[in-house]
Amino acid sequence: MHTILLYARLVRYGFRKHATYVAAALAGAFTNSVFGILRAYVLIALWQARPGLAGYDVLDAVTFCFITQAFIGPMQLFGGGLTIPERIRSGDIALDLVRPASLQLCSLAEDLGRAGYLFVVRGLPPTILGALLFGITAPDNPGAFLVSFTLGVVVSFGWRYLVALSVCWLLDDRGTMAVSLVLTTFFSGMMLPLGIFPGFLGDLAAALPWAAMVQIPMDVYLGKADIWQALGVQALWVAVMLGLGALGTRLIRHRVVIQGG
């Protein structure tokens, strides 16, 4: 019971911590909105030239554009969002590892609070603007979409947590961050729906964890996926990512002990 209360407080802490950076969040919302408008015109032109591409019509494509723009902040699609790399470099990670609460779950709880705040402040403005300027569709099943979105946030956290832990071995996360940015942007569906990718590449992209961050929640939003199958795939990737994260945490604890703390 005490552990549950701790994680609940960390969710609240994550929300309040990021609520202090209102100007930064609003600036991010403005940037996402501007790029959303530019993307929308590109996608409209593409779908007018190729009607029915990837099973979408023009309205679906515009909706895809603005909802995925709203995903950027909450899901931290461009990477980062965790303080673990800095704490590894400073040595403060040793204190985190000896605490009775799980480093991974504490980080997840705080990240969920961050995502909740950015969903409201940075995610809603692009969505509202897109609805006003172009018109977008409402979610086919709001409850299922909310669950899918939350699972996507957790998958994103799991991936970013692994990237953050890599600093323990690489000492510098700039290389892994750059690779993560390319993989997430290309394979998540952030740029274009993965259904556009041809043949084997499309099948591969849909099977990778990054699709669980953007493409699957969007398929649920647009009503183009079997809900239980989509949620099942996301839940599988949540289990895999958190499992790898738990293993990585054990490995860095061993490494800290071997290095003398």
The model's pLDDT over 119-134, given as tens digits with 9 standing for 90+, comes to 998 889 989 999 999 9
Average pLDDT rounded to a whole number, residues 3-8? 81
pLDDT at 261 over 60: no
pTM of whole model > 0.85?
Answer: yes
Amino acid residing at 214: V
The C-alpha angle 180, 254, 1, rounded to 5 degrees, equals 85
Nearest to 113 by CA among 145, 159, 161, 76: 76
pLDDT at 189 over 60: yes
Percent of the chain at pLDDT exceeding 90: 51
Per-residue confidence (pLDDT) for residue 147, from 0 to 100: 97
Contact (Cβ atoms closer than 8 angstroms) between residue 70 and residue 126: yes
Each domain of the chain, given as residue ranges in start order, spans: 2-259
Which residue carries 């795939």 as its tokens?
A: 233
* Mean pLDDT computed over every residue of the chain: 88
Per-residue pLDDT band for 259 (boundaries 50, 70, 90) equals: very low
Per-residue confidence (pLDDT) for residue 1, from 0 to 100: 62
Contact (Cβ atoms closer than 8 angstroms) between residue 121 and residue 26: yes
Average pLDDT rounded to a whole number, residues 248-253? 85
pLDDT digits (tens, 9 = 90+) for 28-45: 888 889 999 999 999 999
Per-residue confidence (pLDDT) for residue 163, from 0 to 100: 92
Average pLDDT rounded to a whole number, residues 174-180? 85
pLDDT at 198 over 90: no
pLDDT at 258 over 50: no
Q: What's the CA dihedral at 65, 71, 76, 78 to 10 degrees?
A: 0
